[in-house]
Amino acid sequence: MAGDSANKTGTDLKNDRYLRALMKQPVDVTPVWMMRQAGRYLPEYKQTRAVAGDFMALCKNTELATEVTLQPLRRFPLDAAILFSDILTIPDAMGLGLYFETGEGPKFKRPVQSRADVEKLGVPDPEHELQYVMNAVRSIRKALNGDVPLIGFSGSPWTLATYMVEGGSSKAFTKIKKMAFADPAALHTLLDKLADAVILYLNAQIAAGAQSVMVFDTWGGVLSPRDYKLFSLQYMHKIVDGLTRENEGRKVPVTLFTKNGGMWLESIAATGCDAVGLDWTIDIADARKRVGDKVALQGNMDPSMLYAQPARIQQEVSDILAGYGYGSGHVFNLGHGIHLDVPPENAGVFVEAVHHLSKPYHQK
């Protein structure tokens, strides 16, 4: 499989089954990676983060960001690496002052509170304010040495806006919804600026070496169907339209993931993305019936299943593989990020199970 894609552009990959599955091309086994695969469930991550100081210092240190990206790949036979960074780098580059309070998640020193705040925001230049991210992409690509593809990513405009307006994580989303319903023009201005920023940011990641990109819409699922289209999907559609779709002689597949967005699958697939990420609240068999050949699917095991005994994890993997059925077009993943208290061995059981149990679904 590696041989037939070898060429002179430097894009030959030893393992390209993740990219092939996103393009629905034949694979030997179902590819797998894990959302948040680099992180605190790994003792080696905690060690490197302690060396860096805090989380943002780790993201900004090219060498250490490269190191933590590779850590999960040394432990498990994963089929893709994901850039070590965060979705909140864009709002930080817009001047909001991102910081992390231990145990409380992300916060902004200067949240967006009014239309005037929205109007003051500029669109960051990725090779200037966000150059540390591009440096990490270039360094990780080099360190991967063609073993597996590198995934770049960004938050969706709506999800970024929730953090920027709420000032951090939220449960009820009252501040952003107040803006959405009481001053929609202000929110649309913000979302449009963010869409422009995300397009520049992802295209810069692609130019720096990201071989596929994913947009995380963690909070689109808190909206009504009409408001989801208006405030989230519309802007992801704009992003899909603005992205570089080919680089280094290869297609650059785009995955859109709206957590809790299973009921909107057809509309997400209609944006022209290559793949749709699924959380665990939808049956992947139904999802495949609904999207047909239009897009590939990524997902969708409940990350809490990794607390179970190996046999239970293997059973769940087997059921999800059977649900998707025969042929390519499935990238196995968790339906959301891996939990920080999961035993790393269980992640290993999961990854091995996907490769082992998926073989029969890919025989010619």
| Contact footprint for ligand CP3 (CB under 6 A) | 35-40, 49, 55, 82, 84, 86-88, 105-106, 153, 169, 216, 218, 337
CB 27 within 8 A of CB 328: yes
Q: How far is the CB of 87 from ligand CP3 (least distance, A)?
A: 4
**Smallest Cα–Cα separation from 127: which of 137, 113, 114, 118?**
137
Q: Is 362 annotated as a binding residue?
A: no
For residue 78, give both structure tokens. Answer: 């994963």
Please indicate whether residue 141 is annotated as part of the active site: no
List, in order, residues 6 or more apart from 10 with CB less than 8 Å away: 248
For ligand CP3, the closer of residues 40 and 290 by Cβ is: 40
Please indicate whether residue 163 is annotated as part of the active site: yes
Q: Count other Cβ atoms within 10 Å, centred on residue 325.
A: 13
Q: How far is the CB of 217 from ligand CP3 (least distance, A)?
A: 9
For ligand CP3, the closer of residues 105 and 292 by Cβ is: 105
Q: Is 189 annotated as a binding residue?
A: no
For ligand CP3, the closer of residues 56 and 357 by Cβ is: 56
Please indicate whether residue 86 is annotated as part of the active site: yes
Q: Is 208 annotated as a binding residue?
A: no
Q: Which residue among the candidates 40, 75, 110, 290 is catalytic per the annotation?
A: 40
Distance spanning both ends of the chain, measured CA to CA:
14
For ligand CP3, the closer of residues 158 and 357 by Cβ is: 158
At what angle are helices 344-358 and 310-324 packed, to 10 degrees?
40
Please indicate whether residue 115 is annotated as part of the active site: no
d(C-alpha 364, C-alpha 356), whole Å: 17
Residue with tokens 């897009």, as numbered in its chain? 295
d(C-alpha 295, C-alpha 267), whole Å: 12
Q: How far is the CB of 187 from ligand CP3 (least distance, A)?
A: 19
Q: Is 40 annotated as a binding residue?
A: yes
User: Is the sign of the CA dihedral 159, 165, 170, 174 positive or negative?
Assistant: negative
For residue 17, give both structure tokens. Answer: 């089954």
- Strands 330-334 and 98-101: what pairing? unpaired
Q: Is 258 annotated as a binding residue?
A: no
At 24 the three-state DSSP class reads coil
Q: Which residue among the candidates 17, 45, 79, 86 is catalytic per the annotation?
A: 86
Q: Which residue among the candidates 45, 163, 201, 235 is catalytic per the annotation?
A: 163
Q: How far is the CB of 38 from ligand CP3 (least distance, A)?
A: 4
d(C-alpha 103, C-alpha 207), whole Å: 35
Q: How far is the CB of 333 from ligand CP3 (least distance, A)?
A: 10
Please indicate whether residue 245 is annotated as part of the active site: no
Q: Which residue among the candidates 12, 28, 49, 192 is catalytic per the annotation?
A: 49
For ligand CP3, the closer of residues 40 and 229 by Cβ is: 40
Q: Residue positions in the annotated binding site for substrate?
A: 36-40, 86, 163, 218, 336
Residues taking part in catalysis:
36, 40, 49, 86, 163
